[in-house]
Amino acid sequence: MAIGLLLVPFAGFSGYLIRLLAMIFFWIGKAGCWNIISGYTGYIDFGAVGYYGIGSYVTAILMSKGHVPFLVSILISGVVSALIALPIGLPTLRLRGAYFGIATLAFAEAMKQIFLEFDKTVGVNFFEGPHGITLPIGPKNEFFYYIGLVVMVAVVGITYWIKRSKFGYALRAIHEAEHAAELSGVDTLRAKIKAYMISAFFLGLIGGVEAYWLTYITPHMVFDVVITIQMVVMSLLGGIGTVFGPVVGASFLTIIYELLHRDFPYTYTIIVGFIVVMVVLLMPKGILGTLQTKRVAQKGRLTQ
Nearest to 64 by CA among 123, 9, 127: 127
Residue 27 CB contacts under 8 Å (≥ 6 apart), including other chains: 230, 234, 250, 253, 254
Applying CB under 8 A, does 19 fall inside the site for another protein? no
Applying CB under 8 A, does 182 fall inside the site for another protein? yes
Applying CB under 8 A, does 258 fall inside the site for another protein? no
Segment interacting with another protein, rule: CB under 8 A, options 47-55, 57-65, 117-125, 182-190 = 182-190
Q: Could you give the count of Cα atoms lying within 13 Å of 101 in the half-sphere of its Cβ?
A: 9
Residue among 184 and 267 whose Cβ is closer to another protein: 184
Segment interacting with another protein, rule: CB under 8 A, options 140-148, 181-189, 209-217, 270-278 = 181-189
Q: What is the contact mask toward another protein in residues 184 to 203, using x (rule: CB under 8 A)?
A: xxxxx---------------
Applying CB under 8 A, does 301 fall inside the site for another protein? no
CA distance 239 to 135: 36
Applying CB under 8 A, does 170 fall inside the site for another protein? yes
Q: Is 216 helix (H, G, I), strand (E, B) or coil?
A: strand
Buried b (16+ CB within 10 A) or exposed e, 212-245: bbbeebbbeebbbbebbebbbbbbbbbbbbbbbb
Minimum CB separation from another protein for residue 191, in Å?
Answer: 9
Instruction: Say if CB 223 and CB 111 are below 8 A apart.
Output: yes
Segment interacting with another protein, rule: CB under 8 A, options 43-51, 79-87, 166-174, 211-219 = 166-174
Among 65, 96, 140, 166, binds another protein (CB under 8 A): 166
Among 153, 175, 260, 280, binds another protein (CB under 8 A): 175
Burial of 102 (0-12, 13-18, 19+ CB in 10 A): middle
Residues that bind another protein (CB under 8 A): 166, 169-170, 172-173, 175-177, 179-188
